[in-house]
Chains A and B, each alone.
Chain A
Amino acid sequence: MPMKLSNRTNFILTVALVFFVWLLLFFINGHMNTYMIRIVSLIGIYGVMAVSLTLINGITGIFSLGHSGFIALGAYTSALLTMSIHQKEVTFILDKVAWPFNSVQLPFLPATIIGGIVAAVFSFLIGWPSLRLSGDYLAIATLGFSEIIRILALNLRSITNGALGLKSIPQYTNVWWSWTWLLITVLFVGSLVNSSFGRALKAIREDRVAAASMGINIFKHQLLSFVIGGFFAGISGSLYAHWLTTIDPRTTSIGVMLTFNVLIMIVIGGLGSISGAIIGAGLFAILTEWLRFLEEPMKIFSFEFSGIAGLRMLVFSAMFVMVMIFWPRGIMGRKELTWNTLYSKLRRGSGESNE
């Protein structure tokens, strides 16, 4: 038996997997209840968020805490574009909605792409000054910028409707939209990582000085990676807005809490692994939903407890700490789950030596 699978076999297996996942989605969409379908859509959205942050934090080694800012930009931009003109007039009661949003309504796809582009433009503007910093300073700078975006959302009332937020956003996001965008994100980021550009990004993460002495322009590479990550964050924001149907500038909505949640996903999955990011996103979505029962009123030995808000996240954090103790580098570490790793596991399992 050969040591590795051929490129052709790899390709066929990947196509087969995508086909299988789509069949599964078809089944879920047709036979499961709305609640389940919504969670499956959410996994796809979280997947896009996690893979885009993996590109920035895990692969390029930029410690960014600004992800929610780009998600929010994509969310607001696209929602303002898909809402009907009438709906916007009704929603904006504090200030009238500004041009151009008072006169356009676009379908979901172009609105999402524009959301991604707006987020990418802002990542460029934010990355330009911040990426000259490194480590903790960069983390603080990006966190600060995402807070600024949130505060702007709170105060630019003629664009964002201020603290009231946007309501009655059309519920366009379904399993097809969210998983198709996840597929696109994975294919794009995946092929980027395996290109010479991606190797340069990883080299920067591993050793900046050595990377520079090999002639890699660190600033340019990091900025481009940051902008691409920002684009997909914007896309995920659009999907999220059209899944939630209401967005507002509270930190718990699409503020820093979201950044930390996405960070948790990619740290659980393995910082620097795309497949790990998707595993982390899936686990996060499923566990946080499943743990919801903790916050409902309970009856233990005939004592009635009213639900405790926030208990779910407390338990989740404890679980997160446990994962970090047993898998300090996350489930996948920096490795990818590829057909070749599965193949060599299988061969080892069937007793054939590997070397």
Chain B
Amino acid sequence: MLEIKNIEVYYGYVKALKDISLRVEEGQIVSLLGSNGAGKTTTLKTISGLLKPKSGSILFHEKIITHLDSSAIVRMGIVQCPEGRQLFPDLSVKENLLVGAITRKNRKQINDDLNQVYGLFPILRDRKNQLAGTLSGGEQQMLAIGRALMAGPKLLMLDEPSLGLAPKIVEQIFELLVNLNKEKGLTILLVEQNANAALRISDYAYILEVGTLTLEGDAKDLLKSELVQQKYLGA
């Protein structure tokens, strides 16, 4: 579904990603793991078209999307739920969700999706007229995911959704991701530092270290691998 071929990304003269290649197959949950500063966010931003690679290419359904701008990429169904949630704090919960659907035109479908999101997160329905900035951390993450779902994603990319949340809420959110994947067939690219939790729900995973991919494999194998256990799972 998504294929990245040998991309290099720079911030000014500093190379942030070196020769990265990865694939996400339709219907899978794929994790991109790595510690702080490894280049995970940079990778997602490049896929979204917010950053442009210096070389290499990105393909979605066999079509090259490297040159497209972010709004065209969202329209193709690649939607990002950004790091640190990045809500619109002075807009209401409902307005935040509607901004998610900004690239879509069909009002009836938008309304149906709004009700679906409210079904997934009943708390958002209760708070729909409240300003997003006044929600708790967990509720904000739910809103950020809800907003991304409103764009009608085929591939949902989440940047550290567990960041700063209580373990119980993390569990809830990961459970939801599994449900979206199993029941709605949504393909997910999950960026995490919390490798343990991420590997448990993933089919496949890549490990990124200072801008380079160092390891990849089936999530189950990585969970068992001693190297990964030592380095990322704190065992």
Contact = CB atoms under 8 A, between A and B. Distances in A.
Interface of A: 196, 199-200, 202-203, 206-207, 209-217, 272, 334
Nearest to B76: A215
B88 interface: yes
Interface in B99-138: 99-103
Interface residues of B, number: 27
25 contacts: A196-B98, A196-B101, A199-B95, A199-B102, A202-B95, A203-B88, A203-B99, A203-B102, A209-B50, A210-B86, A210-B87, A210-B88, A211-B88, A211-B99, A212-B71, A213-B80, A214-B99, A214-B100, A214-B102, A214-B151, A215-B75, A215-B79, A215-B103, A216-B99, A334-B90
Contacts of A202: 88, 90-91, 95
B102 A212 contact: no
Contact of B69 (A206, A207, A217, A272): A217
B9 interface: no
Contact of B74 (A200, A206, A210, A215): A215
Contacts of B89: 206
Nearest to B157: A213
Given A196-B102, A199-B99, A217-B69, A209 B91 contact: no
Contacts of A217: 69, 71
B9 to A, nearest CB: 16
Nearest to B70: A212
B146 interface: no
- Which of B73, B101, B102 has most chain A Cβ within 10 Å? B102
A213 B156 CA distance: 12
A206 B90 contact: yes
B48 interface: yes
B103 A213 contact: no
B147 interface: yes
A151 to B, nearest CB: 37
Interface string B131-164: 0000000000000000100010000000000000
Contact of B88 (A196, A206, A215, A272): A206
Nearest to B105: A196
A12 to B, nearest CB: 22
Nearest to B81: A213
B34 interface: no
Contacts of B39: none
Contacts of A334: 90
A156 to B, nearest CB: 39
A199 B90 CA distance: 11
Contacts of B53: none
Given A206-B89, A206-B91, A334-B90, A200 B102 contact: yes
Contact of B50 (A196, A200, A212): A212
Nearest to A204: B88
B82 interface: yes
A216 B95 contact: no
- Which of A202, A213, A216 has most chain B Cβ within 10 Å? A213
A202 to B, nearest CB: 6
Contacts of B151: 214-215
Contacts of A216: 71, 99, 102
